Structure 1
Amino acid sequence: MMRRRNMAEQMFSDMVDAIKEKQEELEKAIAEYKSSTPIKLSMDVTEDEENVTVVTDLPGVNKEDIKIDITEDTLTIDAKFEEETEEEGEDEGVMYHKKERSYGEANRTIVLPANIKMDEATAKFDNGVLTVVLPKLEKKEVFEVKVD
């Protein structure tokens, strides 16, 4: 009876070990996939009488690693960032327990709700938040048409 219990416990232990191993392989595969796929930036796009304003969070990105391209009606933001994901180890004499920040690229192109004056666009990067202000090319005017 005791021998059967030990065999069952050993089988269960082997199954748990196999599941943990497969889980680690899956996590590595997902991490590799994520690192090769650019992240799509989340943006707030607002509009008032004078400007179209685009705000996006870029935590961990340096100002030098941000590229903004505009046309009269589109905005493209590219940002490079670093990510580290490792469990316990040593790097140049420093012991670490977790490294989870990322290396990669994030980008997005959006169609703007109005044509803009490209040469008057401004961008500010403060505490990981990028704000791009795009003055409108012309104010929208509304005309009422009488129906005969």
Structure 2
Amino acid sequence: MLRLWDPFDDLMRFESWFTPPFFGFEGVNRAPAVEVRGGDDEYVVHAELPGVKPEDVEVELQGNLLTIKGERRTEKSSSNGYERRYGAFSRTFLLPKDVKLDEVTAELENGVLTVHLPKSEEARTRRIEVKSRAAELPAGGKSEAQARAAAAAE
């Protein structure tokens, strides 16, 4: 089929030089934005994964390494420009030794992956009651040792 030359076709091809993959942005490993918090009973990792489906995310434990990886798939589009980032991503964390590895859970909801890392019983924060010895003193306000020292000095 014979096609007429359209100068705008050349312009569109020129514009494509400044969009992926010409500049090498496509296929680059993009680490998701992550927030890690530690509480009394567990550590919690929140990773921002907008537009990613649960089947496109892998959460792996290898020894004390936690890896979040996956792929943000490209939507089919007829436009020549990209605003969103697509491609593979990966992020690895070194976990503290006090994590119960067999109880780690992960869930993806509203574009945020949440990984719960429970702490072992030994590592959990415990409150220690602080006692006052003044409450245990006899009515005179002196401990037995203080009373003996005062009697010996007389």
Common fold by TM > 0.5: yes
* CA distance in structure 1 between the aligned counterparts of 2:96 and 2:103, rounded to whole angstroms: 17
State how far apart, in whole Å, the 1-side matches of 2:62 and 2:123 are.
18
| Contact 2:37 2:44 (8 Å CA) reproduced | yes
Instruction: Provide runs of 4+ in structure 1 moved above 6 Å.
Output: none
Question: 2: CA distance between counterparts of 1:140 and 1:71?
Answer: 23
Q: Which runs of 5+ in 2 are unaligned?
A: 1-9, 126-154
| Structure number having the greater helix percentage | 1
Corresponding position: 1:87 with 2:79? yes
Any idea what SS the aligned residue of 2:18 has? helix
Aligned to 1:135: 118
TM-score between the two structures when normalised by the length of structure 2: 0.60
CA distance in 2, matches of 1:39, 1:46: 22
Larger proportion of strand: 1
Return the match for 1:115 from 93, 98, 106: 98
Between the aligned partners of 1:47 and 1:125, the Cα distance in structure 2 is 19
TM-score, normalised on structure 1? 0.62
* Distance in 2 (alpha carbons) for counterparts of 1:106 and 1:70: 16
Q: Cα RMSD (Å) of the superposition?
A: 3.1
Structure 1: give runs of 5+ residues left out of the alignment.
Answer: 1-16, 89-97, 142-148
What is the aligned counterpart of 2:35 among 34, 38, 44?
A: 44
Instruction: Name the structure 2 match of 1:105.
Output: 88
